[in-house]
Every structure is written in C-alpha cells, then in structure tokens.
C-alpha cells in the first residue's frame, strides 16, 4: 500500500541543507549568500605565525623529519658508479648506440655514444670510459654498414650492411646490460678510433 501525498508544509519532513526554506536552518543561510560582511574568515592557523612565507624558507624549521620534503639522499648509488646520473649516461651510450644502429640503417649508432661523451664525459671518467668504448665499436660497425650499403648494387654488399647492423644492435644491447650492472663491457671486433 502507498501513502497519499502530504501537503508541502506538513511540518514532519526532515530539514536537509537543500530542503529548508529561506530564513530557517538549512539552505540558503539567513541573510542570503554570500554572508553579509564580506569574505569568510580564514581557517584556523592561517596565515602561519611569523608571516608568509615562513621564516627560514621551506620546509619550515622545526618540522618533523620525514614529513614533507625528503630529509636524506635517495639511497646509495648503483655499484660501479659515483651516482645515478653517471649510470644513466652510460646506459645512453650503449643502448643509444644500439638504437641508432637499428633506426639509422646501421650507420647512426655512433651518435648516442658521442652525445654521452660530450655531455658527461668531461665530468665523469666512468661515463667517458663507457662512451668511448661504445663510440669506438659503433663507429667501426657504422663504417662497415655504410660500405655495405654503398656496395649494395652488388648483391653481397646488402648482406654486409644487414650483418653490420645486426652486430651493432646485438653488442650494443649486451654492453648496455653489462653497464646496468656497473661493469665496463669490452666490445669484441672493435678498434680504438677515439681515445
């Protein structure tokens, strides 16, 4: 069974913030909106004692350690590296060389190791060692790939270009994996073009 509808002012309905009539407890507040007298008062504790920004900068002095900004370092650097940035640049040299061989048809593998050497090699001997090893290897195999592509008018030349590209990719990935572990990889079939 259902109840018959009630008149709107029956008085036994609960008042919710949206159901009250003007002037009663509920909505809208007495006096209208916004409240007379301007803006709302600021929340307790604002502005902070001593002014804004707090004296001493951020984080405010006397704060709890571990709350807000990090209080220490981000852990120990990876093994074989002075810091995380050195590891990143070593990985750029090796994996970037492999990616350059893949994307550049076997002739652009030397670009990423060169960038790593120029960007970070003068600041970190570890990065320089990784970048020089990758650069020497990728230069040699990029030259071989270029010769193979130039000689591609002869049937055997295309196989040389493809083989040089594949070799550059494979050994670039292997060197990148070793660099991730903090080891300097000695490329096979390489020569010292850059010192």
Judge whether 77 and 84 are in contact, CB under 8 Å: yes
Mean of per-residue pLDDT scores for the chain: 76
- Write out pLDDT tens, residues 145-169: 888 888 876 777 778 888 888 999 9
- Cα first-last separation, the chain: 95
- Write out pLDDT tens, residues 1-49: 576 776 666 655 555 545 445 545 555 555 655 656 655 666 666 666 6
Residue 51 has pLDDT above 90, yes or no: no
Element housing 165 (H / E): helix 155-180
Predicted confidence at residue 146, as pLDDT, reads: 87
Predicted confidence at residue 64, as pLDDT, reads: 55
What is the model's pTM? 0.52
Judge whether 105 and 149 are in contact, CB under 8 Å: yes
Q: How many residues does the chain have?
A: 195
Give the residue extent of every domain in the chain: 84-180
Residue 178 has pLDDT above 90, yes or no: yes
- CA 85 distance to own-chain centroid: 12
Arithmetic mean of pLDDT, 103-109: 85
Q: How far apart are CA 12 and CA 29, in angstroms?
A: 21
């Amino acid at each position: 069974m259902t109840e018959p509808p009630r008149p709107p002012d029956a008085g036994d309905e609960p008042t919710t913030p949206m159901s009250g009539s003007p002037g009663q407890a509920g909505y809208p507040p007495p006096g209208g909106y916004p409240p007379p007298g301007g803006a709302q008062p600021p929340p307790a504790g604002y502005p902070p004692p001593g002014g804004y920004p707090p004296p001493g900068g951020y984080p405010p002095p006397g704060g709890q350690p571990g709350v807000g900004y990090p209080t220490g370092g981000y852990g120990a650097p990876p093994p074989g590296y002075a810091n995380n940035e050195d590891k990143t640049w070593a990985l750029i040299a090796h994996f970037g060389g492999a990616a350059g061989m893949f994307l550049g048809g076997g002739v652009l593998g030397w670009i990423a190791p060169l960038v790593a050497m120029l960007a970070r090699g003068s600041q970190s001997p570890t990065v320089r060692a990784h970048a020089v090893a990758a650069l020497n290897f990728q230069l040699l195999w990029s030259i071989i790939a270029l010769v193979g592509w130039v000689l591609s008018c002869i049937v055997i030349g295309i196989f040389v270009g493809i083989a040089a590209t594949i070799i550059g990719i494979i050994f670039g990935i292997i060197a990148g994996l070793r660099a991730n572990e903090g080891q300097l990889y000695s490329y096979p079939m390489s020569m010292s073009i850059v010192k």
